[in-house]
Structure 1
Amino acid sequence: MRVLVLGASGATGKQVVRQLIKRQINTRILIRNSATLSKDIKEHPLVEIKKGNINDLNDSEMNNLLLNCNVIISCLGHNPTLKGMFGKPRYLVFDVIKRISETVKDTKVKLILMSTTGYTNTLSSERNSIGEKLILSLLYLFLPPHRDNVKAANYLIENIGKEDGDIDWIAVRPDTLVNIDEESSYEVCEFPIRSPIFNAGKTSRINVSHFMAELVSDDIIWEKWAFKTPVIYNK
């Protein structure tokens, strides 16, 4: 097995790579030339490092990046700066998910997307209160990263769906992300059990990475959540 991790130099992506290493899983990562990695990742024999900007890869380079990867994990996100939130690329996550789906043909892969509780899966009968609808609508209009996350998750559900044949997918929705050094108890729910706007919970990045690695390594857990948008909360 080989897992491709996108966004591996980010706060959550690094944790995902470490969880995969713990499980002795071959891992390929794509990082920018300017990105920095800790020694435990950079020098680990299970980690294959590719450098470049995923938005700039041509078709041949994209094919080579995906070659022999059974699982693709996207921890891509926008930097929390003015340029990162309002500059280009506006649809970093959506564009990458769409391109992967168009590139992977006749090869069965699993795709795990790190999404957010700010995404509402209406096809699973999730509904927001009037107040939540108002705020989420404003975020969609005025905050490009939120719009990007919504478009990416919608693409999985509406365009790839369950009938694609080449891609099985799961969109993991953590609540407010926090940095905690140690794994802790967490719960995974099919639907949000808290308001992401008015009663948000917390989810540590290390717990998100643990759950994603469990999805990769445990077929029973994968089958339970395949084609769903599970929500993860710290207990």
Structure 2
Amino acid sequence: MKIVVLGASGTTGRQVVWELINRNIHTRVLIRKTAVLDPDIEKSSFVEIVKGNISELDRSELNQLLSDCSVVISCLGHTPTLKGMFGKPRDLVSDAVKKVSETVKRSEHKIKLILMSTTGYTNHSEGESHSWGERVLFSVLSLLLPPHRDNVMAADYLVDDLGKEDENISWIAVRPDTLVNDDEVSPYEVTSSLVRSPLFNQGKTSRRNVGHFMAELATDPLLWKRWVCKMPVIYNK
């Protein structure tokens, strides 16, 4: 088994890579040319490093990136700076999901795609809804914050374009609540839909737990079957 991790140099992406290394899973990571990985990750015999921007890879480079891999995990996100929030590429996450999906479909290669999403996404297929005030605030966020709109577009693509019947790609979108940093994996719960308001009653989710859950999804067939084509929400207990 070999897994591709996008956004591996980010704070959550690093946790995913560590979890895969701990499971002795061969991992191919795509990072920017200027990105820095932990030295122990760089030295790991289980890690293959590819440098470049997903938005700039051509068809041949994408094919090579995805070759002989059965799972793609995307932890891509926008850095919390003015340039990261409002600069280009504004559609980093959604464009990456589309590019990977289109490449897989052309090659007729079968993969599992795991997307790090957000509780800011409303999963209508599970009957999720929000109060009037929440709907107004989410609309404002979509207008003013490109990263929020990008995350919504990425999840919409999975639901509306790939759906549940795609022959080449099966997917799961993991939705953490407010991300925090913890040193160790701690007890966490996974639910099929939101159990609290992501705006007015936020929960916490450690990046370490997100990494653990994503690695479990990638390597445990029974857990994958439980959540395939769904959008599980993960909270710290």
Is this contact kept in 1: 2:142–2:148, CA < 8 A? yes
What TM-score do you get using the length of structure 2 for normalisation?
A: 0.98
**Distance in 1 (alpha carbons) for counterparts of 2:230 and 2:144:** 27
**Distance in 2 (alpha carbons) for counterparts of 1:53 and 1:127:** 36
1:173-206 deviations in Å (ceiling 9; x for gaps):
0000001111100000000101000000000000
Specify the alignment match of 1:89 in structure 2. Answer: 89
What TM-score do you get using the length of structure 1 for normalisation?
A: 0.99
SS in structure 2 at match of 1:80: coil
**Distance in 2 (alpha carbons) for counterparts of 1:202 and 1:74:** 20
Specify the alignment match of 2:36 in structure 1. Answer: 36
SS in structure 1 at match of 2:172: strand
Match of 1:186 among 185, 188, 197: 188
**Alpha-carbon shift at residue 123 of structure 1 (Å):** 2.3
The reply to whether residue 109 of structure 1 matches residue 111 of structure 2 is yes
Is this contact kept in 1: 2:71–2:218, CA < 8 A? yes
Amino acid at match of 2:142: Y
1:16-95 matches, within 5 Å, as 16-95=16-95
Q: Identical aligned pairs, as a percentage?
A: 63
* Gap runs ≥5 in structure 1: none
Specify the alignment match of 1:10 in structure 2. Answer: 10
* Gap runs ≥5 in structure 2: none
1:63-212 matches, within 5 Å, as 63-105=63-105, 106-212=108-214
Is this contact kept in 1: 2:126–2:192, CA < 8 A? no
Amino acid at match of 1:212: M
SS in structure 1 at match of 2:226: helix
**Distance in 1 (alpha carbons) for counterparts of 2:122 and 2:174:** 12
Is this contact kept in 1: 2:15–2:208, CA < 8 A? yes
**Alpha-carbon shift at residue 108 of structure 1 (Å):** 1.1
**Alpha-carbon shift at residue 70 of structure 1 (Å):** 0.2
1:23-75 deviations in Å (ceiling 9; x for gaps):
11000001111111111100000000001111111111111011111000000
Amino acid at match of 2:22: K
Which structure 1 residue ranges, 4+ long, deviate > 4 Å from structure 2? none
Say how many residue pairs are matched.
235
**Alpha-carbon shift at residue 165 of structure 1 (Å):** 0.7
Please, which moves more after superposition, 168-177 or 54-63? 54-63
SS in structure 2 at match of 1:104: helix
**Alpha-carbon shift at residue 131 of structure 1 (Å):** 1.2
**Distance in 2 (alpha carbons) for counterparts of 1:5 and 1:124:** 28
